[in-house]
Amino acid sequence: MCMTFKLPTAVDGTVVAARSMEFPMGMPTQLAVLPRDHAGSSDTGGGGRGATWSATHGIVGMGVFGHAGWLVDGLNDVGVSAHLLYMPGGYCTYRMPKGDGTDVAQVDLIAYLLGTCASIAEVKAAVEAVNVVGLDPGMGFVPPVHCLVHDPSGSLAIEFHPEVTKVVDNPVGVATNAPFLDWHLINLGNYLGVSSENPPDETVGGLALSTPGQGEGLRGIPADFTPTARFIRLFSLLQLVDQAKDADEAEQLALHLCNAFDIPAGVVKEPMGGHLVPEVTVWDSVLNLTTPRYAYRMIGNPEAYVVDLASVDFTTPARLQDLPWTGGFTPVAVR
């Protein structure tokens, strides 16, 4: 039940995207750094020859299962971001391995795209050059995903349909999970007319009627946590929020929108290993695409942390760094 979105451009030209990771706790995750000149390769697990590539861009993001190159979220040093979101229910069919040097496992896809691409136009060409296959990174199954990409000029979705891998332009810059993006875009037509203002008072048969409080203009927006409801709610809020003035305001606005979708433990549960486990918002990321900054906040720590990619040494080897999973409120002395 993950999501990603891109804010309307701020007054000063800043473009900010964000992402939330909703999943049961337990996936080993660390902050990952990949250098600008890293030699990328994909082990597809089938014994055949996987793809290799020479990166030209440094990357910061979330690496999983102890591999800096297995990114589920990331931002490169020229402001392109990519995000793997869960895509169950038959909406992800990976290609069969070819073993000819074009195979890229889905867990390596972000490292490949962000390491070699400076725009979504280059991402489109890069996807055409590879064959994306599925790999179990240590979960006990091959996780189905789709890949969402943002840059300052646009957004796209990479979807793995039964017959072909599709790269789909995303004009609204919003994505959640199944079904495919085209269905979500058509469904938006069922929720036109959302407003930040209350409807006007009416008199019916001599009875004066007025709304009992603010927010009536949002009536009808679905409030549950399903992917379809989150897509509608997120799209609607993005149409109504005030335009941010600058980078600081845009980054804060993105985090506020993430807050509106936060799932605490116990609200949503799913069967796993023979019992029910809570699905929670494990972490959020806020990505400044204009002056590349990668910010993140963990489930057990209310503080937001940020990496300015201009300050990262992208000449040193790939590396992982533990995340600040626990923290607390900042104490204040009252005088």
Same domain, 234 and 282: yes
Domain boundary among 175, 204, 221: 221
Same domain, 168 and 204: no
Does residue 158 fall inside a structural domain? Answer: yes
- pLDDT computed for residue 272 by the predictor: 85
Does residue 295 fall inside a structural domain? Answer: yes
DSSP strand pairing (207-209 vs 202-204): antiparallel
Does residue 47 fall inside a structural domain? Answer: yes
Angle between helices 109-116 and 120-128 (to 10 degrees): 130
Predicted confidence (pLDDT) per residue in 24-68, tens digit: 998 999 999 999 999 999 988 777 789 999 999 999 999 999 999
Predicted confidence (pLDDT) per residue in 85-117, tens digit: 999 999 999 999 999 999 999 999 999 999 999
- pLDDT computed for residue 81 by the predictor: 99
Q: Which residue type, as a one-letter code, is found at position 215?
A: G
Into how many domains does the chain fold? Answer: 2
Same domain, 71 and 48: yes
Kindly give the parts of the chain with pLDDT less than 50: none
Same domain, 169 and 313: yes
Query: What is the CA angle 149-13-77, rounded to 5?
Result: 45
CA 302 remoteness from chain centre: 19
Same domain, 154 and 287: yes
In DSSP notation, 115-135 reads HH-SSHHHHHHHHHT-EEE--
d(CA 126, CA 330): 45
Q: Supply the range of the domain harboring residue 27.
A: 3-191+222-321
Same domain, 208 and 255: no
CA 221 remoteness from chain centre: 22
pTM above 0.85, yes or no: yes
List helix spans (H) across the chain. 109-116, 120-128, 181-187, 227-240, 247-259
Domain boundary among 221, 240, 262: 221
User: Mapping DSSP to helix (H, G, I), strand (E, B) and coil, where does residue 212 land?
Assistant: coil
